[in-house]
Amino acid sequence: MTYVVTDNCIRCKYMDCVEVCPVDCFYEGDNMLVIHPDECIDCGVCEPECPAEAIKPDTEPGLDKWLKINTEYAEKWPNITIKREGPADGKEHDGEEGKFEKYFSPDPGQGD
């Protein structure tokens, strides 16, 4: 098992999760974060820290797509271990439907 970041992180990107991760397995894209599944130790401390409730265990049904996205982009995007402010309009997008199709960016974030 591993944890994965799902679509509600897109355009919210709160980053509370990165500070509590004991193995620094978060990677930053332009408008979301992902978890490297081979680095995640399944401790679960990140899940309750996410205000957007975007972090889920990959054992939940229907998360295969998100496991693939997390795996792919954790290899491409820079590591992030320090919380920064998320997008100013992040709260406006919390809970919005269809965020992947509307907003996902394959571009990397700035990382640490």
pLDDT of residue 13: 94
Segments making up each domain of the chain, as ranges: 3-86
Q: Are 9 and 32 in contact (CB under 8 A)?
A: yes
pLDDT per residue of the chain (112 residues) written in tens, 0 to 9? 899 999 999 999 999 999 999 999 999 999 999 999 999 999 999 999 999 999 999 999 999 999 999 999 999 999 999 999 988 898 899 999 999 999 999 999 999 8
Model confidence pTM above 0.75: yes
Class of domain 3-86: alpha beta
> What gap in Å lies between CA 81 and CA 88, rounded to an integer?
20
- If 0-12 CB within 10 Å is exposed, 13-18 middle and 19+ buried, where does residue 28 land? buried
Distances from the Cα of 31 to the Cα of 56, 62, 68, angstroms: 18, 22, 17
